[in-house]
Structure 1
Amino acid sequence: MTSPTPIRIGVMGAHSTGKTLLMRRIEMELRCQGIPVARTGKLGRRAALVSLPKMQHHTVASTTWVIATGIADEIAATARLEDGPVQVVLADRACWDALAYFRAAQEWRRQPAPQADREAPHRLASAHGHTYDLLLATVLDPGLPVEHKHDHDARYRTLVDLHTHDLLREENIRYVRVTSDPASQELVIEHALQLCATQAPA
């Protein structure tokens, strides 16, 4: 018998804007409520392990790898846990995220890829990108510090933020903006919890 489809919540946005922390907090709250949840992530670190270019050096190949791997992780996350089927999947870097990073990299290098090459990762993201029940997009606060692990280029980081929100508007995707204001983050967490409490499969 096929298990009910879990709630899918994705997050995207420029690096060091609180994406992972936000997902960890939602995960912690869901677990406290006894809701089985799985969280995906660490795509950037795994891409580096296989020597794929990152950040402003993103290519069509690296972008396709990140999108495909993220989708595979989300699908795998729906597997049964010991205490029952997963009811919520939290995607730390929704599939649209890699596409925004790629577009930002092209603008940063001032070297746009051929249209045919640009279309391939877009088709892949588009095929999966409309399955999120809730999509969150962080808003860059230039005043916040950048984590040491990130290759920090202020211009590229700004471009990622720009392309993140432009892409979602172009695709006519409903999403929730999350600023660095703690009140904004609390509202988003509460929104996610209410969604999961009312719509997560039993």
Structure 2
Amino acid sequence: MVNPIRIGVLGTHSTGKTTLLKRIEMEVRGHGISVARTGRLAKRAAGIGLPKMQHHTAASTEWIIAQGIADEIAAAAQGAEVVLADRASLDAIAYLHAAVEFRGEHLHRLERERLRLLASTQAPKYDLLFATVLDPDVPVDQSHDYDPRYRLLVDQHVHGLLADDPIPHVRVTSDPVSQLRAIEQALQLCLQEAAV
């Protein structure tokens, strides 16, 4: 099993995470480097009956973190030189904290700490971590029923969690220059490692 370059992305919904990773994947593949992209965790969780978005629970959050870890390990085991994680593990914690705040509830301290520890054990595995930034002026795809308050809460919790630890990351805005810089940074990292 190779030790791949791991690039993760996190951020609130409809801020360009998947699009960014698709663009990085195309650029890296274009240089002959094998890439695996993980993702669709919330949709897969919902497919087995777990709640998502503002209905997230400790159980759905734990499943998403554990499944994300398993997907990344599987990608490495299958020989990918680069693993692109669509929703790094800390993302699930931000979604849960936002959901609990949205519903006006409180998560038991031990449960909150346990899940945070599980997610934080994964942060050092990423060679590069991107955090998308919510731009409220960018319209959301109308086919999705997103609550704007919940979406904003997720954004606040994502960046709050990253600042709390502090976890090295690169903020990516909706600005095309910011997007291009992120793609170039990821490509440069992959090419440097491939040359070693």
- Range 31-40 or range 142-151, more displaced: 142-151
CA RMSD across the alignment: 1.3
2:2–2:76 Cα contact (<8 Å) kept: no
Letter in 2 for 1:99: I
**C-alpha distance in structure 2 between counterparts of 1:200 and 1:111, whole Å:** 47
Cα deviation for residue 79 of structure 1 reads 2.3
Structure 2: which 5+ residue stretches go unaligned?
none
Task: Verify: 1:157 aligned to 2:155, yes or no.
Answer: no
Instruction: Look up the match of 2:124.
Output: 130
Letter in 2 for 1:172: P
Instruction: Look up the match of 1:170.
Output: 164
**C-alpha distance in structure 2 between counterparts of 1:33 and 1:166, whole Å:** 36
1:11–1:94 Cα contact (<8 Å) kept: yes
Instruction: Look up the match of 2:42.
Output: 44
2:46–2:52 Cα contact (<8 Å) kept: yes
Cα deviation for residue 189 of structure 1 reads 0.3
TM-score by length of 1: 0.93
- Equivalent of 2:85 in 48, 72, 91: 91
- Range 26-35 or range 121-130, more displaced: 121-130
| Aligned CA distance change for structure 1 residues 29 and 61 (closer, same or farther; 3 Å) | same
Instruction: Look up the match of 1:186.
Output: 180
**C-alpha distance in structure 1 between counterparts of 2:131 and 2:144, whole Å:** 19
Instruction: Look up the match of 1:68.
Output: 66
TM-score by length of 2: 0.96
Report % sequence identity: 60
**C-alpha distance in structure 1 between counterparts of 2:172 and 2:128, whole Å:** 12
Cα deviation for residue 149 of structure 1 reads 5.3
Task: Verify: 1:103 aligned to 2:101, yes or no.
Answer: no
SS in 2 for 1:78: helix
- Equivalent of 1:35 in 24, 33, 39: 33
1:12–1:136 Cα contact (<8 Å) kept: yes
- Range 192-201 or range 57-66, more displaced: 192-201
**C-alpha distance in structure 2 between counterparts of 1:196 and 1:47, whole Å:** 31
How many residue pairs match? The answer is: 196
1:88–1:200 Cα contact (<8 Å) kept: no
SS in 2 for 1:8: strand
SS in 2 for 1:166: helix
Cα deviation for residue 150 of structure 1 reads 3.6
Letter in 1 for 2:13: H
